[in-house]
Each structure stands twice: as C-alpha cells, then as structure tokens.
Amino acid sequence: MRFEDAARDHAAAWFDGGGFRRELATLVAHPTESQDPRGAPHLLAYLEEAMIPMLDGMGFETRVHGNPAGAGPILTAARIEDPALPTILTYGHGDVIRAQEDRWRDGLAPFELREEGDRLYGRGTADNKGQHLINLRALDAVLAARGRLGFNVKVLIETGEENGSPGLRTFCAANRALLAADVLIASDGPRLVPDVPTIFTGARGGALFDLRVDLREGAHHSGNFGGLLADPAIVLAHALACITDARGRIRVPEWRPDSLTPRIREVLARLPAVEAGPALDADWGEADLSPAERVFGWNSFAVLAMVSGVPEAPVNAISGHARATCQLRFVVGTEVEDIVPALRRHLDACGFEGVRIVPAERGTFPATRLDPDHPWVRFAARALEAATGRTPHLLPNLGGSLPNDCFADVLSLPTIWVPHSYAGCNQHAPDEHVLRPLARDALLGMTGLFCAIARDGGPTEGAHV
C-alpha cells in the first residue's frame, strides 16, 4: 500500500471512530476568552494541558513563551527530522471570542461540545480550535503511515488573536531563527462554499477607530435649547456621510486602492457566490465591481456602533457628545500609516474639523497578499485537488483580517491558508459550530497535502530556501 493511502486510511479511521469529536470536546472545554479577564488563566492551561501533550506524542519539542506585550502566552514546537529537508511552519490560536453564554439557544453551551446531526456546537469549534486540531492530526496521520514526516515542522499557537494578536509581531521579529521555515501552511476562516476546498494567500487589513463629537458637558433641554445648540449626533451623522456615498462607495481618495490588477480580477472572476449567510444587497458598495471584487479586492468602510445620549432611556435633551466606532477593511495598496491622516484631511476638507479621530489601541492588522501564481500556491492547489477530487477555490486574500503580516512581512514566508469552516458557522456569534462532513473532508485534504510535501518536498521551484 502506498504511504499516501495508509495515511488517508489512518486519518479517516481516527475521524470516523470519534477521535475528532472527543479531542475537539476537550479543546472546547477550555474557556479561553482572551477579551475577558476571566479567560486569562485558561490560556496557559490550554497550551500546557491540551497542546503540549498532543505535540509531545508526535515527537515535537515544545516551549511556552511569555508574551512580550504582557498578553496571553505563546507556544512554539518543532520536529526537525533533517535540517536539509523543507520546513513547514503552521499556526493556530487557542483563544476564542467572548462566549456570550446568555445568547446561545436552549440546549447549547459555549464550552460544552454538543452534537446535532452534522453540526458540532461550541465556542472555538470553527475559530480556531477545530482548525488547528485538523492540521495536527493530518500530520499525525503521515507519521503513522511512514514513521516519519519526510519534512520538518514548526508550530506556533498564540492565545491572543481575538484580541488583536498583541505581542505576536514583536515575538516573531525577536525569534526569526526559531521560526525560520520555507512556507506557512495554516488554517483559519471559512471556505467559500462548504463542499469545495479554499486557499487564500493573505488577508485584508483592518483599522479600527472612533469618531467623536464632543461639544459640551451635559445635556440640555430640547425645548429650551433646540435650534440654539448644535446636536453632536447630527454633526457626526453628516461627517460619516461624507466618508462614503449613499451606497457605501468610499469617498476618501487615499482609501481607494490601486491593487485590483487584471490578474487579480481574473482570479476573482472564477469564484462562485457565497452560499451561506444573508441575501446580498446588489445596490451596495462599488457599483462597477463584482461582489467578489468588493470583498476580496477592495476596501470597505463600516460603522460598527454609534451612540449619543442614552438610547435605553431617551430624554428630551440635546446631548453634548456623540461617538461612532468605525472600521476600514483594506487590501494591499492602501498605505497603513496614512489611513487616519487621510481621513483627517478628508474630514477637514468637508468642514468637519471638530470631529475627532481616536485610533484603537489594538485591533489593527496590515493587509497581505501572495502572488496567486507563486509555486507554493500551485503546489498546494494540485495536492488538495488530488486528495479531494475538487479544484480548490483560490482567493488572493481573506475578506477578514488575521495576523498574516507576522509571517509574510516579518518572517518573509510565502503564506498558504486552507480554511476548514464555512460562512454559516456563526463564528464570533452564539451557536458557533463546525460541520462534521466538512471537517472530515478537510482532514483528508490536509493529509493529502502533507503527503505530497513528504513525497515531493514541495514545489520544484522555491521549495527549500
């Protein structure tokens, strides 16, 4: 029997025998909320009690590092079979978004895995515990079939991604030798459609900031002062309206990227529509771009929250303050350092000098994108197609944001992301879940990809540098 077939059989037997469900339940049981102080002690426990025993059993040398930003700890692991062999770096994050316990439907709890039909519910099933579990067990299947990998693997598991990955970039910069590799192969985010593998090679960046209008202390009776005092909510609403037009088309000149090249448009034109989620608004966004170009090839501006006065108990008074929390999702070709200054110039030019911009302390990810024709992209696509029988969908970048800049920019690696979830998984929402058939398919796909690296050493061009 070919070792590829033996590895596939091993992976399938582990999954079908309940291994995935059992191990995922153990991972989900750790309440690793990085945005809530109550999650702090569980971050280290996740690494020490769940990840290290698994990696030790696969012959990895492990080490837990303090976070240079004082946030959650970082785990590194390495299995070096021969320095002359190619080295793969893989990544995952053990922290999860806030649990939102009171919003899960009856019968479900965020930190207890529940199975209903093809769905496995629990916080972290999709983002990201289930995804790095699949990748580690795919590597284990290759080991079981061959007794060795035939390549080197390094692992990085952080515990702060949901809080903006504080300290990760600094950690990578200080540990370039420890993390040196030929390629990053990791998993996060959703497939474009549930039954077809997806590859994305970068991510849109994200910039978070508040717009504030602070006119006076206290509120003043609208009967006495209406028409005499400026309303901060109205001022803020007009300031927001100058950032986009009525259909959300961005008006800030520097926020309109130049990176939607003919080649990127060609790649995006091959993609199907997303099959899960709400109905799309055909009259929203850039009118001359396709839906795929709007979300994967362009920038988008969103108002995440707005407040003035006390919405829960409004009174007949003109507020003194108004605030909007805003976000720009941006692709490569957008100057990160000029995002806020460009907005400042635009607001001033539109007459809104009094609107303050307050950047968030955390939560900003730079944009990244690997050439879709890079040898590692072609190699991974061929391997996944051979393993699953379906040609993967190729995205130049994820529509969302993740810390890919740490790997692409700081460590100078080609980055291959193979997501194992789908758009309807309720990621970051109550009732988060993963689909069992998708997870099984992803496990077999990653097993095939790692077998291809074991057999061929990666692409003939640029496999080992």
Task: Tell me, yes or no, whether 354 and 425 share the same domain.
Answer: no
The predicted structure's pLDDT at residue 146: 96
Q: Is residue 296 one of the residues assigned to a domain?
A: yes
Between β-strands 356-359 and 205-214, what pairing exists: parallel, antiparallel or unpaired?
antiparallel
Residues 439 and 301 in one domain: no
CB–CB of 33/100 below 8 Å? no
> DSSP string covering 215-278, please?
--SS-EEHHHHTTTS--HHHHHHHHHHTTB-TT--B--GGGS-S---HHHHHHHHTPPPP-SSS
Neighbours of 409 (CB within 10 A): 15
Identify the domain boundary among 359, 382, 416: 359
Q: Output the domain CATH number for residue 225.
A: 3.30.70.360
Cis? peptide before 135, omega within 30° of 0 = no
Same domain (yes/no): 252, 383: no
**Cβ atoms of residues 239 and 211 within 8 Å:** yes
212 plus 193 within the same structural domain:
no
Mean pLDDT of 178-190: 97
Q: Is residue 240 part of a domain?
A: yes
E strands, 423-464, are: 433-435
pLDDT tens digits, one per residue of 282-306: 899 999 999 999 999 999 999 999 9
14 and 162 in one domain? yes
Does 465 score more than 70 pLDDT?
no
Question: Does 341 lie in the same domain as 320?
Answer: yes
Of 339, 359, 379, the residue at which a domain comes to its end is: 359
- pTM of the complete model: 0.92
Q: How far apart (Å, rounded) are the C-alpha atoms in residues 279 and 282?
A: 9
For residue 29, the 8-state DSSP code is T
Mean pLDDT to the nearest integer, 81-90: 97
67 lies in the same domain as 214: no
Q: Is residue 463 part of a domain?
A: no
Give the mean model confidence (pLDDT) for residues 162-183.
Answer: 96
Tell me what pLDDT residue 461 has: 58
Q: Supply the CATH number for residue 48's domain.
A: 3.40.630.10
| Of residues 343, 308, 344, the one with CA closest to residue 232 | 308
Task: For residues 202-222, give the mean pLDDT.
Answer: 96
**Has residue 461 been placed in a domain?**
no
For residue 8, the model assigns a pLDDT of 98
Burial environment of residue 437 by CB neighbours within 10 A (0 to 12, 13 to 18, 19 or more): exposed
Q: What is the mean pLDDT of residues 259-279?
A: 87
Q: Decide which of 324, 359, 394 is a domain's last residue.
A: 359
Confidence of residue 153 (pLDDT cuts 50, 70, 90): very high
- What is the domain range of residue 194? 3-203+368-456
pLDDT at position 464, please?
45
Asked if residue 223 is part of any domain, the answer here is yes
Do 190 and 148 lie in a common domain? Answer: yes
Q: pLDDT tens digits, residue range 255-264? A: 999 999 999 9
**The pLDDT of residue 14 is above 50:** yes
pLDDT score for 276? 60
Q: What is the DSSP letter of 337?
A: G
Q: Is 38 helix (H, G, I), strand (E, B) or coil?
A: helix
pLDDT confidence of 277, banded at 50, 70, 90? low
Give 278's pLDDT tier (boundaries 50, 70, 90): confident
Span 363-379, average pLDDT: 92
**Mean per-residue pLDDT for 137-144?**
98
Range from 293-297, 367-371, 397-401 carrying the lowest mean pLDDT: 397-401
Q: Quick one: pLDDT at residue 274? A: 66
Task: Let me know whether 307 and 385 are in one domain.
Answer: no
Please tell me the distance from the alpha carbon of residue 140 to that of residue 454, in angstroms, as a whole number. Answer: 13
Q: Within this chain, do residues 406 and 287 fall inside the same structural domain, yes or no?
A: no
212 and 351 housed in the same domain: yes
Do 179 and 33 belong together in one domain? yes
User: Would you state the pLDDT for residue 279?
Assistant: 84
Average pLDDT over every residue of 372-397: 97
Would residue 276 count as lying in a domain?
A: no
- Would you place residue 400 in the very low, low, confident or very high pLDDT band (cuts 50, 70, 90)? confident
Can you give the C-alpha Rg of the chain in angstroms? 24
User: Does residue 257 lie within any of the structural domains?
Assistant: yes
Q: Has residue 162 got a pLDDT over 90?
A: yes
Mean pLDDT in the chain? 95
Identify the pLDDT of residue 463.
Answer: 47
The total of structural domains in the chain comes to: 2
pLDDT of residue 109: 97
- Say what the pLDDT of residue 401 is: 86
Question: Does 464 fall in a domain?
Answer: no
At 363 the pLDDT is 61
